[in-house]
Structure 1
Amino acid sequence: MKRMKSSKKMFALCLIFLLLRKIAATHLSAKHLVSANIGDIVTLPCSHENSLALKFLWYKQTLGEHPKILSTFNDYDNNATFLNEFKDDHRFSVQIGKTINKLSISDLRLSDSATYYCGSSYSNKVEFGKGFIVIVKGSGFRKTSVVQQPESESVHPGDSVSLNCTINTGTCEGEHSVYWFRRDSGESPPGIISTNGDRSGQCMKSSESGSPTQSCVYNLPKRNLSLSDTGTYYCAVESGGEILFGNGTKLEVLYQNRLLLVYCLGVALGVSFILIIVLTCIMYKIKKRTCLQCRGYIFHSQAPGDPSMGHDADNLQYVALNLNKNMSRRQRKNTEEETVVLYSSIRQ
């Protein structure tokens, strides 16, 4: 019995690995990870421009299961044909255009969590196009919930961190498997980085809510982190035939010299401010000294003994004033006669 369970888990893991490799080969970018809530509507576009195919298909790949054909339609027909259990499920619809078709899923359910990808058939060969990983988040009324902590974490290169995935179940029975995905900020697809197929996490029973519940905590240790470890980490739990996804933990590995850069910028700003003050003082002193020199030059150029005025000697008039007229006799005897000569320049 244990051998059958282990082989089943290995088979599911191989399918997941092959699916992710196929998605990576079709240039699946980070934007093709779609997260929605129960009851929402999602639309998945698939372009078939410049394609020679005459038949197009949509597939659904549930975690741990084989891919299933969801719908098919021909290039010359505007109606899609739904197959398998999707035949009578009116929540699925396909909008067909000349160069693009869109798969719409309304009234989302938890069972809709899967990977959807389109394909084109030509000469008995099927080529896969874009893939979309759809994550349907459950409501708070479910007995099973998945919570990831912390929601975000900022670390430096070389640090270590432990990401937690807590599974709250309504009963203490049953088994579940845990898978860890990482989506980076680039164009590479989300990929499985760790699996925990066995219940080796720390489980605790609680009856505070009136009914027995169980919380299992699974840890993903990350040591000696580097810039390539930056991204959003999701844990997926397989429980009771359903796949539940956590809310994700955003891990950001900061540059090691970012703090040093802040310090350097602060010092540079302070030095620049001091230089501005010093240059302002120097300019003020230079301007003040220049003004004083200008005033001295003007005074010197206007002095009576200025040689520059010698060539205008013919235009000068001399007037002698006797300032002793109003002096007393005593003052006139003790003081020599003073004569003041005024020079008046006459412009012609």
Structure 2
Amino acid sequence: MSDTDEIEFEERGGVGFITLNRPKALNALTLDMIQAMMPKLQDWREDPVIKAVVIAGAGDRAFCAGGDVRAVYEAGRNGGSLTKEFFRDEYRLNRMIHVFPKPYVALIDGITMGGGVGLSVHGSHRVATEKTMLAMPETGIGLFPDVGGSFFLPRLPGKLGLFLALTGWRLGAADAVYSGLATDFVPSDKIPQLVDAFAGADWNTAAADAVVDQIIDAATEPPEPSALAQQRDAIDRCFSAPSVEAILEALDAEPGDWAAKIAKIIRKQSPTSLKVTFEQVHRGATMDFDSAMVEEFRLSQAFMAGKDFYEGIRAVLVDKDQKPNWQPGDLQSVTPGIVEAHFRPLGDGDLTFS
């Protein structure tokens, strides 16, 4: 087990509490944190005293702003093994959460992006607050929406999943609940009471799921109206198109400023990321969870061997000029062969679940 102070574990009452403890880095997820969390979840799964798990982020800004992609970027540039290890273990952790047999409550009270979505969306309960800002922004850094995005995005209502995947659109609490990425809305100032209620719960009164539901229901409030709901018809109409190019044509033909704004966002993303992501989400609609994760690992390694991820991180996080030079630079140059190569099996290098 990894020994790190970047993540804290505590047992109170019948609950295992996890705190992501890198507040200055918006609780971005490191390999050490992943490798500390996996055996702890294994222990809690088997421990009859532990009835539920609650995960939160330290500080007042973020639940988890994503995986530590800066470290992966440095490793990739220097030939380090982190480009394999990070994705392999992160995806194994996503699966552990997906199959976790007890209530798993994520308190997404703040920024929740990429890897942070992976730590929350696969659990039974995802509690949003007015501070929630949730997104899968990977196409903007030359990557793809991973951490199980192949599985959960196509299962969102209508075409919301593909919309979120291609745009990296940021969801507040109302939109997160509307889309199904969050299950409940609780005001941020009630989160400490919620934590105390979990720690002090009587787990003998009902099944653990019912106890958790009662605690959350006592604190929940209706969120504001969803802005996404107002654009839902346009999203479903435009994102039903048969290619990324056709989606852009549909958006260009759509009246109003909103569609023009969305088209502008998509045109800034990595063309390779866009086309691979389009294919990924469509394939994922008919895949089981394990198959989706195996495929995502293949995609991750293809992107690690390419150029756009390194250029995206350079432009967004390193030099911060926000002017990535994508290669290829346009959608037409991303051929079906280029897309298909990203999905190629890795043989003995494929992801396995032991």
Shorter-chain TM range is under 0.3
Q: Which has the larger radius of gyration?
A: 1
| Higher strand proportion | 1
TM-score scaled by length of structure 2: 0.24
TM-score scaled by length of structure 1: 0.24
Q: Which has the higher contact order (CA 8 A, sep 6+)?
A: 2
